Amino acid sequence: MGSMKIAISVSEKEKAKGKLSPYFQALVAAGASPDELALVSAADMRRVRAEDFDGILFAGGEDVAPALYDEKTKYSSVHTDHARDKFEFALIDAAIEKRLPILGICRGIQMINVKFGGTLHQDLQSDQATEKEHKQAGSRSAPTHAVTLTEPESLLSRAFQGSCRVNSLHHQAIKHIGRGLKRTAYAEDGVVEAVEAADDYPFLLAVQWHPEEMADLPEQRRIFEQFIAKCREAAA
Q: Name residue 121's beta-bridge partners.
A: 173
Cα distances from 73 to residues 12, 122, 123, in angstroms, run 23, 8, 10
Q: Higher-confidence residue: 131 or 114?
A: 114
- The residues carrying an active-site annotation are 106, 210, 212
* pLDDT given for residue 2 in this prediction: 54
Query: Is the pTM for the entire model greater than 0.85?
Result: yes
pLDDT computed for residue 138 by the predictor:
82
Kind and range of the H or E run holding 136: none
| Interatomic CA distance for residues 215 and 205, integer angstroms | 16
Give the β-pairing of 6-9 and 37-40.
Answer: parallel
18-64 pLDDT per residue, tens: 999 999 999 999 999 999 999 999 999 999 988 899 999 999 999 99
- Say if residue 99's pLDDT is above 90: yes
135 to 46, 83, 176, 178: CA distances (angstroms) = 34, 25, 21, 24
- All structural domains of the chain: 6-235 (3.40.50.880)
DSSP state of 16: T
Mean pLDDT value across residues 163-192: 94
pLDDT reported for residue 1: 45
User: Residue 163: which residues within 8 A CB-CB, separation 6 or more?
Assistant: 146, 147, 148, 149
Q: What percent of the chain has pLDDT over 90?
A: 85
Write the Ramachandran bin of 61: left for phi over 0, alpha for psi from -120 to 50, otherwise beta: left
